[in-house]
Chains A and B, each alone.
Chain A
């Protein structure tokens, strides 16, 4: 009898030890949600520092932290310092979701800045929707999303293409070849491109998608030669961009007559491939490192001073930087006791900020951002020469290609007209 009991106790003790190692927080219940406590405001910073997208996401992490430190150096918000809680989601959507839960629930962050890929944004959004928190997403993306719990500060298709396609048609011709990586962003951008081309009487002579990470473009380049498009419209991403540009040049094609017009080639990719391979090709984006504004000179100067002379800024790291200031302005509008994600969202709508690219504004209709699309021609130096700047800011229309589907301010749902 005693034997049994002692057996049991020993087993239970071993299990208890195991459980205690696994769940150190088990007895700690969450105190009432109190944002902005102890003279600090906690914000989450959720960009991958390891894994496949680490290089670009590290630059976003850096831009975000630089803005946070600048705001703190200038006295913080309402005298409170911003406290950045940094997590490394390791380029894995499940880890993104898990870390987002931690930032929102355990750390009680009042907002989280994060994500580069759509896959990771899609993975965290249910968390922000469940806890009614706020996610700030800096990347250009495919649109067609309208979450109450996300502020989108990157470009959507209509902003990148509205001026771009007519300009390309006018200067090079109406025959387009569409080449993209095989995932949702290129497909959606090409849907938009095809609609615009149709309006302009243009023609798609080829449409092709290569796997992510693809690096063998010989057959694709042969098709360029066969179909002789006026413009190669490229939404190829990542390492494939480097391979495509190098093989294009090796095949003896000329950007003067058949340029590649990209939405995704930034200073980062050009640095990886070498400026001579990119020279003469075009990109449309709201921001280039060469933008000539006092705000941008300061941004680039501070970034290089902080992280190294050879660092480049790009069209994702700039929104990652200015969105922290939009957050700051929104929180400043609130009295300290009212600071909470839903009130910040409301205060953020309509906020304007003089960003490096120009004056930007969060659209209260859909939580996306008014931006200044530009067309840049890549130079051998690795920088873009800005050929054309939008005359006015361009309204974000995440459902542009889908008439009848709109975001509404009340609940922000998509509605069939």
Chain B
């Protein structure tokens, strides 16, 4: 698996994506489009986060939206507290005074500080993931049971947020937010600043992800994905590595959630619903869950096509059908996702370069080996 990422085509792939992303605002100045693309990029980060735990550690987390939503709420709480007082009822946010809450609850207090909020946006999801992971992985729960437990977790957190409406805004979520200002830059939802923030965050997430999967820890994670029992026999603490992947994934998803609040200008309990969680899995699968770049591109391409199709009056009734057909086509013809096109191009090209009967290149050689590992990976996922 790691040989693929060290091949030149992949490095060019990473560079190309970064360049395209960063150059985009040179051609697009319209705030609406920047906002839309920033949104797609944030979904890319979210999908990449799932790829770390699902594609590289074999943990299919169907509750990824919990981390995303909690991150989003952390940012919204900080912004809400800074909304000019006229929109809040006497020191407490407006929705609290509707619910007859007179003083700010203790857990809102620290959100007066942006630094704390940004830290919490990653730490809260990570801690929650750690606690859940502690029980799940110690108990050697694997495969589809992890998916079920994480899904249940999602539903529970969602219900709690809706029910505790005096403190969370309930069904409406947290709305009427001010604009984030950090280091003299205003991160307005339609600005280039916010777009670049999202773009650089995706690049940073890619780099962090690559650093992890290239490290020894990353190798152990992949080994666990392929054969958990065997790794355990080697003497590794499997639960420890699984929980690490789970927590890092949650922290990155939490960060994506914070960005999402900036772009959407509100936080809502619908950010942690089942349909978002399932969408993340689809993005990952379409893009290629065995590749960080693939997962990110999968989200960007799927949400991009989805947005364009559903916006166009020609496809108002049929766009869901078209999306469904696309998913099926990708799964049937490119089971490793859209990014496997890079491998296909590369291999075809190498054969040409080597000239008919020339010796096989190193990347073409182990073609059968990854296929076997893919198979096991499917059993886990």
Contacts and interface: CB of A to CB of B under 8 A. Distances in A.
Interface in A141-184: 142, 144, 182-184
B240 to A, nearest CB: 36
A15 B16 contact: yes
A191 B98 contact: yes
B304 A21 contact: yes
Contacts of A106: 32, 311
Nearest to B24: A26
Nearest to A91: B270
Contact of A123 (B8, B268, B316): B268
Contacts of A328: none
A414 B268 contact: no
A15 B305 CA distance: 14
A197 to B, nearest CB: 16
Contacts of A21: 301, 304-305
A386 B24 CA distance: 61
Contacts of B300: 22
A12 B15 CA distance: 10
B15 to A, nearest CB: 9
Contacts of B341: 14
Interface stretch (A3-11, A252-260, A365-373): A3-11
Interface in B1-49: 8-9, 12-13, 16-17, 20, 24, 27-33, 35-37, 39-40
Contacts of B310: 88
Contacts of A3: 353
A29 B30 contact: yes
A40 to B, nearest CB: 14
B345 interface: yes
B176 A122 contact: yes
A413 interface: yes
Given A22-B301, A182-B163, A212 B99 contact: no
A22 B308 contact: yes
Given A12-B16, A15-B13, A187-B98, A211 B304 contact: no
Given A7-B9, A187-B99, A191-B100, A30 B32 contact: yes
Contact of A119 (B27, B30, B268): B268
Contact of A11 (B16, B27, B305): B16
B84 to A, nearest CB: 9
Contacts of B346: 7, 10
Nearest to A97: B264
Given A119-B171, A125-B175, A212-B171, A93 B270 contact: yes
B342 A126 contact: no
Nearest to B169: A184
A130 B189 contact: yes
A184 B98 contact: yes
A122 B172 contact: yes
Interface in A1-43: 3-4, 6-8, 10-12, 14-15, 18-19, 21-27, 29-30
Given A23-B304, A101-B32, A18 B265 contact: no
B345 A98 contact: no
Given A25-B308, A184-B170, 10 more contacts: A10-B345, A11-B12, A30-B30, A86-B316, A88-B310, A88-B316, A93-B268, A182-B165, A182-B170, A212-B171
Interface of B: 8-9, 12-13, 16-17, 20, 24, 27-33, 35-37, 39-40, 86-87, 89, 94-95, 98-100, 162-163, 165, 170-173, 175-177, 189-190, 264-266, 268, 270-271, 275, 297, 300-301, 304-305, 307-308, 310-311, 313, 316, 338, 341-342, 345-346, 349, 353
